[in-house]
Structure 1
Amino acid sequence: MNPNDPQQQPDFLTEMRQDLSDWRQWLARAVVLVYAVTAGLAVVAFTWLSEHALAGFDLLRHWQPLAPLVWTPAWTAGMAWLTLRWFPGASGSGIPQVMSALNTGLAPEQRSRFVSLRLSAAKLLMTAGGLLGGLAIGREGPSVQIAAGIMHDARRWLPARSAINEHGLLVAGGAAGIAAAFNAPLAGVMFAIEELTNRIEQRSSGLVIGAIVLAGLMAVAVFGNASYFGVIRVSALDCGFLLPGLLVIVACGLLGGGFARLLHASIVGGRDRFSALRARHPVRFAAACGLAIALLGLASGGTTFGSGYDTTRSLVEGQSSTPLLYVTLRIVATWLAVWSGVPGGIFAPSLAIGAGLGHDIALLTHMTGSTPLIALGMAGFLAAVTQAPMTSFIIVMEMVDGHQMVLSLMAAALGASLISRWICVPLYGALSRAQLQKLQTHAP
Structure 2
Amino acid sequence: MPPQPQVANALQQEFSDWRLWAARLVVLSFAAASGLAIVGFTWLAEVALAAFFRLERAAWWAPLIWTPLLTAGIVWLTRRFAPGAAGSGIPQIIAVLEHESAAAQRPLFVSMKLSVAKLFLTAAGLLGGLALGREGPSVQIAAGIMRNARRWLPAQSQISENGLLMAGGAAGIAAAFNTPLGGVMFAIEELSRRPEQRRNGLLIGAIVLAGLMAVSVYGNNTYFGVIRVERFSFRMVAPALLVALLCGAAGGLFARALIAILSGRTTDRVSRLRGHAPIRFAACCGLLVALIGIVSQGASYGSGYAQTKAMIAGASESTHLAVLLRFVATWFTAASGVPGGLFAPSLSIGAGLGNSVATLMAYPNAPTLIALGMAAFLAAVTQAPLTAFIIVMEMVDGHELVLSLMACTLIASGLSRLISAPLYPALAELQLARLK
TM above 0.5, yes or no, is yes
Residue 324 of structure 1, CA deviation: 4.2
1:57-136 equivalence runs, <5 A: 57-103=52-98, 105-106=100-101, 110-136=105-131
- 1:307 is matched with 303
Is 2:405 aligned against 1:388?
A: no
- 1:11 is matched with 6
Is 2:228 aligned against 1:233?
A: yes
Is 2:338 aligned against 1:342?
A: yes
Measured in 1, the distance between the counterparts of 2:368 and 2:384 equals 21
- 1:212 is matched with 207
Distance change in 2, residues 1:76/1:107 (3 Å): closer
Structure 2 contact 95–428 (Cα < 8 Å) conserved: yes
Equivalent in 365, 370, 376 of residue 366 of structure 2: 370
Deviation digits for residues 200-219 of structure 1, max 9, x if unmatched?
A: 42796110111011100110
- One-letter identity of the residue aligned with 2:346: S
Structure 1 contact 168–204 (Cα < 8 Å) conserved: no
* Farther-moved stretch of structure 1 (231-240 vs 398-407): 231-240
* Farther-moved stretch of structure 1 (192-201 vs 203-212): 203-212
Structure 2 contact 135–177 (Cα < 8 Å) conserved: yes
Measured in 2, the distance between the counterparts of 1:107 and 1:394 equals 30
Structure 2 contact 86–337 (Cα < 8 Å) conserved: yes
Is 2:174 aligned against 1:184?
A: no
- 2:285 is matched with 289
Structure 1 contact 164–204 (Cα < 8 Å) conserved: no
Deviation digits for residues 417-444 of structure 1, max 9, x if unmatched?
A: 00001011110011112222x1342xxx
Structure 1 contact 264–430 (Cα < 8 Å) conserved: yes
- 2:143 is matched with 148
- One-letter identity of the residue aligned with 1:10: P
* Farther-moved stretch of structure 1 (283-292 vs 268-277): 268-277
* Farther-moved stretch of structure 1 (363-372 vs 343-352): 363-372
Equivalent in 404, 409, 412 of residue 408 of structure 1: 404
Distance change in 2, residues 1:384/1:204 (3 Å): closer
Is 2:246 aligned against 1:246?
A: no
Measured in 2, the distance between the counterparts of 1:350 and 1:35 equals 30
Measured in 1, the distance between the counterparts of 2:429 and 2:288 equals 30
Residue 275 of structure 1, CA deviation: 1.7
Residue 160 of structure 1, CA deviation: 1.7
Structure 2 contact 95–102 (Cα < 8 Å) conserved: no
- 2:273 is matched with 277
Give ranges in structure 1 of 5+ residues lacking alignment: 1-5
Measured in 2, the distance between the counterparts of 1:66 and 1:149 equals 38
Structure 1 contact 163–204 (Cα < 8 Å) conserved: no
Q: Give the secondary-structure state (helix, strand or coil) at the position aligned to 2:132.
A: coil
- 2:423 is matched with 427
Give ranges in structure 2 of 5+ residues lacking alignment: none
Q: How many residues end up aligned between the 2 structures?
A: 435
Q: Give the secondary-structure state (helix, strand or coil) at the position aligned to 2:108.
A: coil
Residue 107 of structure 1, CA deviation: 6.4
Distance change in 2, residues 1:60/1:203 (3 Å): closer
Distance change in 2, residues 1:107/1:435 (3 Å): closer
Structure 1 contact 193–199 (Cα < 8 Å) conserved: no
Measured in 2, the distance between the counterparts of 1:235 and 1:425 equals 36
Measured in 2, the distance between the counterparts of 1:310 and 1:16 equals 51
Structure 2 contact 379–409 (Cα < 8 Å) conserved: yes
Structure 1 contact 163–203 (Cα < 8 Å) conserved: no
TM-score w.r.t. the length of structure 1 is 0.96
Structure 2 contact 114–141 (Cα < 8 Å) conserved: yes
Distance change in 2, residues 1:168/1:237 (3 Å): same
Structure 2 contact 48–127 (Cα < 8 Å) conserved: yes
- 1:3 is matched with none
Distance change in 2, residues 1:276/1:429 (3 Å): same
TM-score w.r.t. the length of structure 2 is 0.98
Distance change in 2, residues 1:405/1:108 (3 Å): closer
Structure 2 contact 163–197 (Cα < 8 Å) conserved: no
Measured in 2, the distance between the counterparts of 1:415 and 1:107 equals 33
Structure 2 contact 188–198 (Cα < 8 Å) conserved: no
Structure 2 contact 372–408 (Cα < 8 Å) conserved: yes
Residue 104 of structure 1, CA deviation: 5.1
Deviation digits for residues 148-186 of structure 1, max 9, x if unmatched?
A: 010011111111221110111011000000000000000
Instruction: Please tell me the root mean square deviation across aligned C-alpha atoms, in Å.
Output: 1.3
Measured in 2, the distance between the counterparts of 1:360 and 1:217 equals 35
Structure 1 contact 193–200 (Cα < 8 Å) conserved: no
Structure 2 contact 319–356 (Cα < 8 Å) conserved: no
Q: Give the secondary-structure state (helix, strand or coil) at the position aligned to 1:112.
A: helix
